[in-house]
A and B are shown apart, each in its own frame.
Chain A
């Protein structure tokens, strides 16, 4: 008796609530309401507000003035805003290195290796360190005459020939990208190992019996099995590069030309309190990320014939 009209008498609300249908509605509402409210308050309202703020000249408190598209004009004309996006090219380069490295090591580790778990653990652990600790570790690491210079000294380099890793504008962004590679290559590697392991072991055994060598196993078994997670990671790293933030934020504070787009945006929003301009920057970057994501969907649809 689920349909109201068919029942012998019209049910009261109380009866309906005790019925299966009522119980269903009740449990769905009870379990959804708080997560949805949190999602609304901390994601969707801020999202709408950011778009609204981008049309105003405003601080967090005080008067607001509608300025139309002026903030957007500034984003594209100010050197410190749009110019900072160029730095993301360094981070994209870094993610290519990072993904290649991760794939290489994952391939090695998915075959029998003595002490494989230890190697895996060593390389993964940096992912679990908090951002500001990483900041200190690398300020220390790159200081003149300290860790990095000493190790290069062991390899025969002269200290006089080495640059100041965090100050020299020709190298400092590469130094920062290095820290990002250091932090994430192990995590990428673990993801790839997971994907490779999801292929049944019998497949490898069969390949071995057929006389396939390691390279052929890589080419015909491993590569296809991780194709989609690899492409997904490539695309994620593009949006990740555009929104690179932590390395410069905690290590150099954006000094000496290391301020990425988000570092500049953070500084404009929270230090200079030009909330409108910062919001416009956020909207511009979000739009770029959306375009990248839509391209990703199309790519998956037409290249992999993926339905998902």
Chain B
């Protein structure tokens, strides 16, 4: 290798790492500045620049305050209840749907697939104009069960992950079970469902993060912010009179994104692969 090539390579490596460092900085700066501010006392917040580090990294009073003021204890309970029900129901419904669509040939199979595909194209905000009227008629506004039903009924990306997974499970497994006299329900629950575990984990993580972060619909249908706030909508407390106390607000924001951060750190691989799988067909 001559000198020209060596310098060329060195320059390329430098550009590579500079770009990565710069855009990581760009991605992290807004979050880091929030963390810094969340640890500041009122006095510090008013008298120092936002990027000056706090005097003490152990000043958790803003977090406690934000947690109480926004009623986050309640919000975490609500979000947990919503998550559990939505994940259980949509996993059962999604896997069953994928099983039928992948394993049985019947008139309307293709049509049903296309109906689900078409539904993903419709932008949520536009649809909510008339969904609101339906929720109103069903008495589903300000109702946790109603909201859970709605969340199960939207977003079907998971079925593509499941269908793809079924395609890779050899159909001879079903056939030999049929020869043994097993019913379709037995085949699904006893044989196929356990095999789907990786796909179920992936889809639960994605749907879980999506449900936890859902803000627009939660805001629209769970209007009783005192009793029915989710973690995302509980942050709404900080709109208004508290709107300039950013040390408090930042603490609330950090609390709200901690669960997503923990899930992300633990399940990076599944999140990446789930997104990639969902995008291929979607």
Contact = CB atoms under 8 A, between A and B. Distances in A.
Please say whether chains A and B are actual partners in one complex: yes
Interface residues of B, number: 89
B94 to A, nearest CB: 8
A76 interface: no
B257 interface: yes
Contact of B126 (A20, A30, A286): A286
Contacts of B152: 38
B129 interface: yes
The secondary structure that dominates the B interface is: helix
Interface stretch (A3-11, A66-74, A82-90, A275-283): A275-283
10 contacts: A24-B104, A46-B130, A46-B133, A118-B24, A122-B24, A128-B213, A140-B30, A245-B216, A266-B125, A286-B126
The secondary structure that dominates the A interface is: helix
- The winner among A28, A49, A130, A275 for most chain B CB atoms within 10 A is A130
Given A49-B130, A128-B260, A108 B19 contact: yes
Interface residues of A, number: 89
Contact of B133 (A36, A49, A191, A239): A49
A151 B31 CA distance: 14
B57 interface: no
B279 A191 contact: yes
A136 B33 CA distance: 12
A132 B87 CA distance: 23
A42 B154 contact: yes
B171 interface: no
Nearest to A186: B27
Contact of B232 (A26, A109, A131): A131
A50 B127 contact: yes
Given A42-B153, A132-B236, A138-B30, A50 B279 contact: no
Interface in A250-281: 250, 262, 265-266, 269-270, 275, 278-279
Interface in B22-65: 23-24, 26-31, 33-34, 37, 49-51
A136 B134 contact: no
A136 B249 CA distance: 7
Contact of A125 (B16, B27, B96, B122): B27
B237 to A, nearest CB: 11
A23 B181 CA distance: 12
A290 to B, nearest CB: 8
Q: What 6 A-B pairs are tightest by C-beta distance, nearest first?
A: A194-B276, A38-B153, A130-B213, A31-B96, A282-B126, A49-B130
B266 interface: no
A158 interface: no
Contacts of A20: 178
Contacts of B166: none
B213 A35 contact: no
Contacts of B268: 117, 121
B264 A121 contact: yes
A121 B280 CA distance: 21
Nearest to B269: A117
A16 interface: no
Given A42-B153, A129-B31, A147-B33, 19 more contacts: A27-B100, A35-B94, A43-B127, A45-B134, A108-B16, A121-B264, A126-B31, A128-B264, A130-B231, A132-B233, A136-B235, A137-B34, A138-B30, A140-B250, A195-B276, A243-B125, A245-B123, A269-B132, A286-B123
B12 to A, nearest CB: 7
Interface in B228-282: 231-233, 235-236, 238, 246, 249-250, 252-253, 256-257, 260-261, 263-264, 268, 271-273, 275-276, 279-280
